Structure 1
Protein backbone atom coordinates (compact mmCIF):
# COMPACT_ATOMS: atom_id res chain seq x y z
CA UNK A 1 0.00 0.00 0.00
CA UNK A 2 3.03 2.27 0.35
CA UNK A 3 5.78 2.13 -2.29
CA UNK A 4 9.27 3.44 -1.57
CA UNK A 5 11.91 4.76 -3.97
CA UNK A 6 15.16 6.68 -3.50
CA UNK A 7 16.88 9.25 -5.71
CA UNK A 8 19.57 11.81 -4.90
CA UNK A 9 18.98 12.13 -1.18
CA UNK A 10 15.17 11.96 -1.30
CA UNK A 11 13.06 8.94 -0.39
CA UNK A 12 9.66 9.04 -2.08
CA UNK A 13 6.83 7.26 -0.27
CA UNK A 14 3.82 6.77 -2.55
CA UNK A 15 0.41 5.98 -1.10
CA UNK A 16 -0.86 3.26 -3.44
CA UNK A 17 -4.16 1.87 -2.16
CA UNK A 18 -6.60 2.81 -4.95
CA UNK A 19 -9.37 0.43 -3.85
CA UNK A 20 -10.17 2.69 -0.88
CA UNK A 21 -8.79 6.00 -2.16
CA UNK A 22 -5.68 5.75 0.01
CA UNK A 23 -7.77 5.72 3.17
CA UNK A 24 -5.98 5.32 6.49
CA UNK A 25 -6.49 1.59 6.83
CA UNK A 26 -4.42 -0.44 9.28
CA UNK A 27 -2.28 -1.67 6.40
CA UNK A 28 -1.58 1.77 4.96
CA UNK A 29 -0.78 3.28 8.38
CA UNK A 30 1.61 0.41 9.13
CA UNK A 31 3.26 0.68 5.72
CA UNK A 32 3.72 4.42 6.02
CA UNK A 33 5.24 4.16 9.49
CA UNK A 34 7.63 1.49 8.25
CA UNK A 35 8.69 3.64 5.29
CA UNK A 36 9.29 6.64 7.54
CA UNK A 37 11.35 4.57 9.96
CA UNK A 38 13.49 3.20 7.13
CA UNK A 39 14.12 6.71 5.80
CA UNK A 40 15.04 7.94 9.27
CA UNK A 41 17.64 5.19 9.63
CA UNK A 42 19.26 5.81 6.22
CA UNK A 43 22.14 8.29 6.43
CA UNK A 44 21.88 8.97 2.69
CA UNK A 45 18.35 10.36 3.01
CA UNK A 46 18.03 14.12 3.42
CA UNK A 47 14.24 14.37 3.02
CA UNK A 48 11.07 12.35 2.45
CA UNK A 49 8.60 13.13 -0.33
CA UNK A 50 5.07 11.88 0.38
CA UNK A 51 2.86 11.49 -2.70
CA UNK A 52 0.07 9.30 -4.08
CA UNK A 53 -1.37 7.39 -6.99
CA UNK A 54 -4.86 8.05 -8.37
CA UNK A 55 -7.04 11.12 -7.93
CA UNK A 56 -7.08 11.04 -4.11
CA UNK A 57 -4.14 11.81 -1.84
CA UNK A 58 -5.94 10.40 1.20
CA UNK A 59 -9.66 9.97 1.93
CA UNK A 60 -9.25 9.90 5.71
CA UNK A 61 -10.31 7.00 7.91
CA UNK A 62 -11.25 3.73 6.23
CA UNK A 63 -14.89 3.67 7.33
CA UNK A 64 -15.17 -0.03 6.56
CA UNK A 65 -12.74 -0.54 9.42
CA UNK A 66 -14.68 1.82 11.68
CA UNK A 67 -12.52 4.39 13.44
CA UNK A 68 -9.35 2.34 13.16
CA UNK A 69 -7.11 3.13 16.13
CA UNK A 70 -6.99 6.81 17.11
CA UNK A 71 -3.82 6.08 19.09
CA UNK A 72 -2.17 4.56 16.00
CA UNK A 73 -3.14 7.60 13.91
CA UNK A 74 -1.69 9.89 16.57
CA UNK A 75 1.51 7.85 16.56
CA UNK A 76 1.75 8.09 12.75
CA UNK A 77 1.28 11.86 12.75
CA UNK A 78 3.79 12.30 15.54
CA UNK A 79 6.32 10.14 13.70
CA UNK A 80 6.12 12.55 10.73
CA UNK A 81 6.52 15.59 12.96
CA UNK A 82 9.38 14.02 14.95
CA UNK A 83 11.25 12.57 11.96
CA UNK A 84 14.71 14.21 11.99
CA UNK A 85 14.40 14.74 8.24
CA UNK A 86 11.98 17.11 6.49
CA UNK A 87 8.80 15.57 5.04
CA UNK A 88 7.35 17.19 1.91
CA UNK A 89 3.89 16.38 0.55
CA UNK A 90 3.05 16.43 -3.16
CA UNK A 91 -0.73 16.58 -3.62
CA UNK A 92 -2.56 16.41 -6.94
CA UNK A 93 -5.85 14.92 -5.78
CA UNK A 94 -8.55 15.06 -3.14
CA UNK A 95 -7.78 15.26 0.57
CA UNK A 96 -10.46 14.58 3.13
CA UNK A 97 -10.70 14.39 6.92
CA UNK A 98 -7.76 12.39 8.31
CA UNK A 99 -5.82 12.99 5.10
CA UNK A 100 -5.59 16.66 6.04
CA UNK A 101 -3.84 15.52 9.21
CA UNK A 102 -1.07 14.02 7.11
CA UNK A 103 -0.60 17.40 5.43
CA UNK A 104 -0.61 19.16 8.77
CA UNK A 105 2.15 16.88 10.02
CA UNK A 106 4.35 17.46 6.95
CA UNK A 107 6.88 20.29 7.01
CA UNK A 108 6.25 21.55 3.48
CA UNK A 109 3.43 20.72 1.06
CA UNK A 110 2.69 21.57 -2.56
CA UNK A 111 -0.78 21.17 -4.07
CA UNK A 112 -1.79 21.10 -7.72
CA UNK A 113 -4.83 22.62 -9.42
CA UNK A 114 -6.75 19.33 -9.19
CA UNK A 115 -6.46 19.16 -5.42
CA UNK A 116 -9.46 19.71 -3.18
CA UNK A 117 -9.78 19.66 0.58
CA UNK A 118 -12.51 19.20 3.19
CA UNK A 119 -12.88 18.48 6.89
CA UNK A 120 -15.89 16.18 6.61
CA UNK A 121 -15.95 14.71 10.13
CA UNK A 122 -18.92 16.69 11.46
CA UNK A 123 -21.03 15.44 8.54
CA UNK A 124 -20.68 11.83 9.72
CA UNK A 125 -21.14 12.54 13.42
CA UNK A 126 -17.54 12.79 14.62
CA UNK A 127 -14.90 15.55 14.89
CA UNK A 128 -11.35 16.16 13.61
CA UNK A 129 -9.94 15.31 17.02
CA UNK A 130 -6.56 13.60 16.63
CA UNK A 131 -5.63 15.46 13.45
CA UNK A 132 -6.14 18.79 15.23
CA UNK A 133 -2.79 18.33 16.97
CA UNK A 134 -0.68 19.05 13.87
CA UNK A 135 -3.36 21.19 12.21
CA UNK A 136 -4.58 23.83 14.66
CA UNK A 137 -1.12 25.23 15.51
CA UNK A 138 -0.63 25.91 11.80
CA UNK A 139 -4.08 26.86 10.46
CA UNK A 140 -5.69 30.29 10.34
CA UNK A 141 -8.07 30.17 13.32
CA UNK A 142 -11.11 31.70 11.62
CA UNK A 143 -10.71 29.46 8.57
CA UNK A 144 -10.38 26.40 10.80
CA UNK A 145 -13.64 27.29 12.53
CA UNK A 146 -15.44 27.68 9.20
CA UNK A 147 -14.20 24.53 7.51
CA UNK A 148 -14.30 22.30 10.61
CA UNK A 149 -17.94 23.22 11.15
CA UNK A 150 -19.29 23.34 7.59
CA UNK A 151 -17.35 20.57 5.86
CA UNK A 152 -17.15 22.75 2.73
CA UNK A 153 -14.74 21.85 -0.04
CA UNK A 154 -12.00 24.31 -0.94
CA UNK A 155 -9.19 24.37 -3.47
CA UNK A 156 -5.43 24.61 -3.46
CA UNK A 157 -5.20 28.41 -3.36
CA UNK A 158 -7.45 28.58 -0.30
CA UNK A 159 -5.52 25.73 1.32
CA UNK A 160 -2.33 27.79 0.91
CA UNK A 161 -4.01 30.94 2.23
CA UNK A 162 -5.13 29.28 5.46
CA UNK A 163 -1.86 27.41 6.07
CA UNK A 164 -2.95 23.87 5.21
CA UNK A 165 -0.42 23.68 2.37
CA UNK A 166 2.72 25.70 1.67
CA UNK A 167 2.46 26.30 -2.08
CA UNK A 168 -0.38 26.01 -4.59
CA UNK A 169 -0.25 25.61 -8.37
CA UNK A 170 -3.72 26.92 -9.15
CA UNK A 171 -5.40 26.42 -12.52
CA UNK A 172 -5.92 29.58 -14.58
CA UNK A 173 -8.78 30.57 -16.85
CA UNK A 174 -6.95 29.14 -19.84
CA UNK A 175 -6.71 25.72 -18.19
CA UNK A 176 -3.02 26.13 -17.41
CA UNK A 177 -1.37 26.86 -14.10
CA UNK A 178 -2.02 30.06 -12.23
CA UNK A 179 -0.26 33.38 -12.13
CA UNK A 180 3.05 31.83 -11.19
CA UNK A 181 2.98 29.78 -14.37
CA UNK A 182 4.40 26.86 -12.43
CA UNK A 183 3.02 23.37 -11.98
CA UNK A 184 3.55 21.15 -8.95
CA UNK A 185 6.91 19.73 -10.03
CA UNK A 186 8.25 23.18 -10.90
CA UNK A 187 7.27 24.42 -7.45
CA UNK A 188 8.81 21.36 -5.81
CA UNK A 189 12.14 21.59 -7.62
CA UNK A 190 13.69 24.45 -5.61
CA UNK A 191 12.31 23.00 -2.37
CA UNK A 192 13.92 19.61 -2.90
CA UNK A 193 17.12 21.22 -4.18
CA UNK A 194 17.34 23.27 -1.00
CA UNK A 195 16.79 20.21 1.18
CA UNK A 196 19.46 18.24 -0.67
CA UNK A 197 21.93 21.02 0.13
CA UNK A 198 21.18 20.91 3.86
CA UNK A 199 23.42 19.00 6.24
CA UNK A 200 21.83 16.20 8.30
CA UNK A 201 22.48 18.08 11.54
CA UNK A 202 21.35 21.41 10.13
CA UNK A 203 18.10 19.98 8.80
CA UNK A 204 17.33 18.04 11.99
CA UNK A 205 17.91 20.98 14.33
CA UNK A 206 16.12 23.46 12.09
CA UNK A 207 13.12 21.15 11.93
CA UNK A 208 13.19 20.79 15.71
CA UNK A 209 12.78 24.56 16.02
CA UNK A 210 9.76 24.83 13.73
CA UNK A 211 7.94 21.78 15.15
CA UNK A 212 8.42 22.52 18.85
CA UNK A 213 4.91 23.95 19.38
CA UNK A 214 3.27 21.09 17.48
CA UNK A 215 5.12 18.52 19.60
CA UNK A 216 4.05 20.30 22.79
CA UNK A 217 0.48 19.91 21.56
CA UNK A 218 1.01 16.16 21.10
CA UNK A 219 2.52 15.89 24.59
CA UNK A 220 -0.47 17.66 26.10
CA UNK A 221 -3.43 16.37 24.10
CA UNK A 222 -2.75 12.92 22.60
CA UNK A 223 -4.51 10.86 25.28
CA UNK A 224 -7.59 13.07 25.59
CA UNK A 225 -8.11 13.52 21.83
CA UNK A 226 -7.60 9.81 21.08
CA UNK A 227 -10.21 9.03 23.75
CA UNK A 228 -12.59 11.61 22.28
CA UNK A 229 -12.16 10.18 18.79
CA UNK A 230 -12.82 6.62 19.96
CA UNK A 231 -15.92 7.71 21.90
CA UNK A 232 -17.37 9.63 18.96
CA UNK A 233 -16.80 6.82 16.46
CA UNK A 234 -18.59 4.40 18.82
CA UNK A 235 -21.67 6.64 19.13
CA UNK A 236 -25.08 6.06 17.53
CA UNK A 237 -24.77 9.26 15.51
CA UNK A 238 -21.44 8.18 14.02
CA UNK A 239 -22.83 4.76 13.12
CA UNK A 240 -25.68 6.48 11.28
CA UNK A 241 -23.32 8.94 9.63
CA UNK A 242 -20.91 6.26 8.41
CA UNK A 243 -23.73 4.04 7.21
CA UNK A 244 -25.30 6.94 5.32
CA UNK A 245 -21.94 7.75 3.72
CA UNK A 246 -21.38 4.17 2.59
CA UNK A 247 -24.98 3.95 1.30
CA UNK A 248 -24.61 7.31 -0.49
CA UNK A 249 -27.60 8.90 1.24
CA UNK A 250 -28.19 11.78 3.64
CA UNK A 251 -27.93 10.90 7.37
CA UNK A 252 -31.12 11.00 9.44
CA UNK A 253 -30.37 14.37 11.04
CA UNK A 254 -30.35 16.35 7.76
CA UNK A 255 -33.62 18.38 7.57
Structure 2
Protein backbone atom coordinates (compact mmCIF):
# COMPACT_ATOMS: atom_id res chain seq x y z
CA UNK A 1 0.00 0.00 0.00
CA UNK A 2 1.50 3.38 -1.03
CA UNK A 3 1.00 6.64 0.86
CA UNK A 4 -1.62 7.92 -1.56
CA UNK A 5 -3.73 4.80 -1.14
CA UNK A 6 -3.27 4.93 2.64
CA UNK A 7 -4.41 8.55 2.72
CA UNK A 8 -7.50 7.69 0.67
CA UNK A 9 -8.36 4.94 3.15
CA UNK A 10 -7.86 7.19 6.18
CA UNK A 11 -9.91 10.07 4.78
CA UNK A 12 -12.52 7.81 3.20
CA UNK A 13 -15.55 6.28 4.82
CA UNK A 14 -16.22 2.76 6.01
CA UNK A 15 -19.61 1.06 6.48
CA UNK A 16 -20.75 1.27 10.11
CA UNK A 17 -21.73 -1.86 12.08
CA UNK A 18 -25.38 -2.73 12.49
CA UNK A 19 -27.35 -0.99 15.21
CA UNK A 20 -27.41 -4.21 17.20
CA UNK A 21 -23.63 -4.53 16.96
CA UNK A 22 -23.13 -0.94 18.16
CA UNK A 23 -25.31 -1.63 21.21
CA UNK A 24 -23.51 -4.92 21.86
CA UNK A 25 -20.13 -3.16 21.75
CA UNK A 26 -21.44 -0.59 24.21
CA UNK A 27 -22.39 -3.43 26.55
CA UNK A 28 -18.90 -4.95 26.24
CA UNK A 29 -17.30 -1.58 26.98
CA UNK A 30 -19.55 -1.18 30.01
CA UNK A 31 -18.34 -4.52 31.33
CA UNK A 32 -14.74 -3.39 30.89
CA UNK A 33 -15.54 -0.41 33.10
CA UNK A 34 -17.92 -1.94 35.63
CA UNK A 35 -16.28 -5.29 36.45
CA UNK A 36 -13.55 -4.65 39.06
CA UNK A 37 -11.17 -7.36 37.81
CA UNK A 38 -11.36 -5.97 34.27
CA UNK A 39 -11.22 -2.35 35.38
CA UNK A 40 -7.90 -2.90 37.14
CA UNK A 41 -6.44 -3.65 33.71
CA UNK A 42 -8.44 -1.38 31.42
CA UNK A 43 -7.99 1.64 33.67
CA UNK A 44 -4.42 1.88 32.36
CA UNK A 45 -5.89 3.02 29.03
CA UNK A 46 -7.70 5.84 30.82
CA UNK A 47 -4.49 6.84 32.59
CA UNK A 48 -2.68 7.01 29.24
CA UNK A 49 -5.38 9.35 27.89
CA UNK A 50 -5.45 11.34 31.16
CA UNK A 51 -1.71 12.03 31.22
CA UNK A 52 -1.61 12.60 27.48
CA UNK A 53 -4.30 15.27 27.89
CA UNK A 54 -2.23 17.00 30.58
CA UNK A 55 0.75 16.97 28.24
CA UNK A 56 -1.16 18.26 25.23
CA UNK A 57 -2.76 21.06 27.26
CA UNK A 58 0.65 22.05 28.60
CA UNK A 59 2.06 22.34 25.08
CA UNK A 60 -0.96 24.20 23.71
CA UNK A 61 -0.76 26.77 26.51
CA UNK A 62 2.93 27.45 25.94
CA UNK A 63 4.37 25.41 28.79
CA UNK A 64 7.46 23.24 28.38
CA UNK A 65 6.67 19.54 28.76
CA UNK A 66 9.39 17.79 30.78
CA UNK A 67 8.01 14.25 30.66
CA UNK A 68 5.25 11.81 31.52
CA UNK A 69 5.35 8.79 33.85
CA UNK A 70 2.81 5.97 34.01
CA UNK A 71 2.79 3.62 36.99
CA UNK A 72 1.62 0.04 37.51
CA UNK A 73 -0.98 1.16 40.10
CA UNK A 74 -2.73 3.10 37.25
CA UNK A 75 -1.51 6.45 38.56
CA UNK A 76 0.53 8.83 36.44
CA UNK A 77 2.47 12.08 36.53
CA UNK A 78 2.95 14.78 33.91
CA UNK A 79 5.62 17.39 34.59
CA UNK A 80 5.78 20.70 32.75
CA UNK A 81 7.65 23.96 33.23
CA UNK A 82 6.27 27.45 33.07
CA UNK A 83 4.43 29.92 35.24
CA UNK A 84 3.31 28.26 38.50
CA UNK A 85 -0.11 29.84 38.10
CA UNK A 86 -2.29 31.53 35.51
CA UNK A 87 -4.63 30.23 32.79
CA UNK A 88 -2.06 27.88 31.25
CA UNK A 89 -1.51 26.01 34.48
CA UNK A 90 -5.25 25.92 35.19
CA UNK A 91 -6.04 24.46 31.76
CA UNK A 92 -3.21 21.95 32.09
CA UNK A 93 -4.49 20.75 35.47
CA UNK A 94 -8.11 20.65 34.25
CA UNK A 95 -7.37 18.67 31.10
CA UNK A 96 -6.52 15.34 32.71
CA UNK A 97 -9.87 14.08 33.95
CA UNK A 98 -11.81 15.43 30.96
CA UNK A 99 -9.23 14.31 28.38
CA UNK A 100 -10.48 10.71 27.89
CA UNK A 101 -14.06 11.94 27.48
CA UNK A 102 -13.11 14.63 24.96
CA UNK A 103 -11.03 12.12 23.02
CA UNK A 104 -13.98 9.72 23.02
CA UNK A 105 -16.30 12.49 21.88
CA UNK A 106 -14.02 13.36 18.97
CA UNK A 107 -13.86 9.70 17.98
CA UNK A 108 -17.65 9.41 18.23
CA UNK A 109 -18.02 12.38 15.89
CA UNK A 110 -15.76 10.71 13.33
CA UNK A 111 -17.66 7.43 13.65
CA UNK A 112 -20.95 9.30 13.24
CA UNK A 113 -19.60 10.24 9.81
CA UNK A 114 -18.30 6.71 9.09
CA UNK A 115 -14.58 7.43 9.52
CA UNK A 116 -13.66 4.34 11.54
CA UNK A 117 -10.18 4.01 10.04
CA UNK A 118 -9.42 7.66 10.79
CA UNK A 119 -10.23 6.98 14.46
CA UNK A 120 -7.72 4.13 14.58
CA UNK A 121 -4.94 6.03 12.81
CA UNK A 122 -5.52 9.02 15.07
CA UNK A 123 -5.07 6.72 18.05
CA UNK A 124 -1.83 5.33 16.61
CA UNK A 125 -0.50 8.84 15.97
CA UNK A 126 -1.35 10.09 19.46
CA UNK A 127 0.27 7.07 21.10
CA UNK A 128 3.41 7.55 18.99
CA UNK A 129 3.65 11.21 20.05
CA UNK A 130 3.02 10.28 23.68
CA UNK A 131 5.79 7.68 23.55
CA UNK A 132 8.33 10.45 22.93
CA UNK A 133 7.48 11.99 26.30
CA UNK A 134 7.42 8.87 28.46
CA UNK A 135 10.16 8.82 31.10
CA UNK A 136 9.84 5.46 32.87
CA UNK A 137 9.98 1.79 31.88
CA UNK A 138 6.41 0.85 32.80
CA UNK A 139 5.11 3.82 30.83
CA UNK A 140 7.17 2.82 27.80
CA UNK A 141 5.95 -0.76 28.07
CA UNK A 142 2.26 0.13 28.43
CA UNK A 143 2.22 2.72 25.64
CA UNK A 144 4.18 0.38 23.32
CA UNK A 145 1.77 -2.49 23.97
CA UNK A 146 -1.24 -0.27 23.29
CA UNK A 147 0.36 1.25 20.20
CA UNK A 148 1.47 -2.05 18.68
CA UNK A 149 -1.95 -3.64 19.26
CA UNK A 150 -3.76 -0.68 17.71
CA UNK A 151 -1.34 -0.52 14.77
CA UNK A 152 -1.75 -4.25 14.10
CA UNK A 153 -5.53 -3.90 13.91
CA UNK A 154 -5.25 -0.78 11.77
CA UNK A 155 -2.71 -2.21 9.30
CA UNK A 156 -3.58 -5.89 9.09
CA UNK A 157 -7.12 -6.17 10.47
CA UNK A 158 -10.15 -6.78 8.32
CA UNK A 159 -12.65 -3.99 7.78
CA UNK A 160 -15.00 -5.61 10.28
CA UNK A 161 -12.30 -5.90 12.94
CA UNK A 162 -11.24 -2.28 12.41
CA UNK A 163 -14.81 -1.09 12.79
CA UNK A 164 -15.32 -3.17 15.93
CA UNK A 165 -12.06 -1.85 17.44
CA UNK A 166 -12.96 1.77 16.67
CA UNK A 167 -16.44 1.53 18.16
CA UNK A 168 -15.34 -0.49 21.19
CA UNK A 169 -12.48 1.89 21.98
CA UNK A 170 -14.74 4.92 21.60
CA UNK A 171 -17.47 3.46 23.80
CA UNK A 172 -14.86 2.54 26.37
CA UNK A 173 -13.43 6.07 26.58
CA UNK A 174 -16.87 7.61 26.89
CA UNK A 175 -18.15 5.16 29.50
CA UNK A 176 -14.89 5.01 31.46
CA UNK A 177 -14.25 8.75 31.79
CA UNK A 178 -16.75 9.47 34.62
CA UNK A 179 -15.56 6.61 36.84
CA UNK A 180 -12.14 8.07 37.79
CA UNK A 181 -13.92 11.30 38.72
CA UNK A 182 -16.18 9.42 41.14
CA UNK A 183 -13.17 7.54 42.48
CA UNK A 184 -11.36 10.83 42.95
CA UNK A 185 -14.16 12.29 45.05
CA UNK A 186 -14.33 9.12 47.15
CA UNK A 187 -10.60 9.49 47.89
CA UNK A 188 -11.00 13.21 48.63
CA UNK A 189 -13.83 12.45 51.02
CA UNK A 190 -11.46 10.20 52.98
CA UNK A 191 -8.71 12.80 52.87
CA UNK A 192 -6.45 10.67 50.68
CA UNK A 193 -6.12 12.90 47.60
CA UNK A 194 -4.78 16.24 48.80
CA UNK A 195 -2.51 16.57 45.76
CA UNK A 196 -5.19 15.66 43.20
CA UNK A 197 -5.93 17.75 40.11
CA UNK A 198 -9.06 19.12 41.79
CA UNK A 199 -7.14 20.22 44.87
CA UNK A 200 -4.38 21.70 42.73
CA UNK A 201 -7.02 23.67 40.84
CA UNK A 202 -8.52 24.79 44.15
CA UNK A 203 -5.13 26.20 45.21
CA UNK A 204 -4.64 27.87 41.82
CA UNK A 205 -8.08 29.48 41.62
CA UNK A 206 -9.45 29.55 45.19
CA UNK A 207 -12.51 27.74 43.87
CA UNK A 208 -13.31 24.73 46.10
CA UNK A 209 -12.05 21.37 44.92
CA UNK A 210 -15.57 19.94 45.05
CA UNK A 211 -16.63 22.47 42.42
CA UNK A 212 -13.84 21.26 40.14
CA UNK A 213 -14.87 17.65 40.70
CA UNK A 214 -18.38 18.69 39.68
CA UNK A 215 -16.98 20.32 36.55
CA UNK A 216 -15.05 17.14 35.68
CA UNK A 217 -18.22 15.10 36.12
CA UNK A 218 -20.33 17.51 34.08
CA UNK A 219 -17.90 17.42 31.15
CA UNK A 220 -17.40 13.64 31.19
CA UNK A 221 -21.13 12.96 31.51
CA UNK A 222 -21.98 15.48 28.80
CA UNK A 223 -19.45 13.88 26.44
CA UNK A 224 -20.93 10.44 27.19
CA UNK A 225 -24.45 11.59 26.34
CA UNK A 226 -23.43 13.44 23.18
CA UNK A 227 -21.11 10.64 22.08
CA UNK A 228 -23.80 8.01 22.62
CA UNK A 229 -26.19 10.15 20.54
CA UNK A 230 -23.72 10.08 17.65
CA UNK A 231 -22.68 6.45 17.99
CA UNK A 232 -26.26 5.23 18.03
CA UNK A 233 -26.87 7.07 14.77
CA UNK A 234 -29.32 9.61 16.12
CA UNK A 235 -29.60 12.63 13.86
CA UNK A 236 -28.90 11.05 10.49
TM-score range, shorter chain: 0.3 to 0.5
Provide TM-score, normalisation by structure 1. Answer: 0.31
More helix by percentage:
2
Greater share of strand: 1
Give the TM-score normalised by structure 2.
0.33
